[in-house]
Chains A and B, each alone.
Chain A
């Protein structure tokens, strides 16, 4: 158990809908990262937060947004969902910005 908790574990929704994925980082970790992993693909970096502030952005679509709250948990919001958004979404956390990251179990999103 990495200590990073993601909910829900599975999510099935229809095209055009909006969903929110939640991540609770390891206790004491200030940095949260979001990654997308499509079937049999690598990990695509989406966005990073550090202590509530956005620090880095990857290939995140405009339909997607995220935030980190004062209690350090983070949410990834995906809207106007398309079939191609079906993927595993991982959250990772690290204690600072330049230490190793630990991953959650992921949320499997299926858009039908």
Chain B
């Protein structure tokens, strides 16, 4: 199925380091969302972005909606062990007469204490 490309696929970082991940698409989206999924749990919404160029923060998390509307990035500052998990981006668009959510391939984050 159609998916967004996320990079990196996985990363190991030291506690306290900043993390950056991004999501790209060949299609334009109207909304970008970032979710975090813990093992065996459902994805939890972290940040929602609604306008091109929008920069939004949620605690140590900052995300931006790309100007071209085809990409988004998520930054995590001063990472802590509980940041471990899979981070998914999701693009939302109205195409072919219907709204669709398309999810990225995920970035697996592991934090070394």
Q: Which of B14-22, B69-77, B96-104 contacts A (4 or more CB under 8 A)?
A: B96-104
- Which of A2, A59, A101, A106 meets B101, CB within 8 Å? A101
Specify which chain B residues have a CB less than 8 angstroms from the CB of A2 in the assembled complex.
Answer: 42, 44-45
Which of chain B's residues 13-43 have a Cβ closer than 8 Å to chain A?
30-31, 33, 35, 40-43
* Chain B residue with Cβ nearest A55: B98
**Chain B binding surface SS class:** strand
Q: How many residues on chain A are close to B (CB under 8 Å)?
A: 26
Specify which chain B residues have a CB less than 8 angstroms from the CB of A102 in the assembled complex.
Answer: 45
Q: How many residues on chain B are close to A (CB under 8 Å)?
A: 26
Q: Which of A14-22, A40-48, A66-74, A76-84 contacts B (4 or more CB under 8 A)?
A: A40-48
A interface list, Cβ under 8 A from B: 2, 4, 33, 35, 42-45, 48, 55-56, 58-59, 88, 90, 92, 97-98, 100-106, 108
- List 17 extra interface pairs beyond A90-B43, A92-B42, A103-B43, CB under 8 A: A2-B45, A42-B3, A42-B103, A42-B105, A45-B102, A48-B98, A55-B98, A56-B98, A56-B99, A56-B100, A58-B100, A88-B40, A100-B31, A100-B48, A101-B33, A103-B45, A105-B42
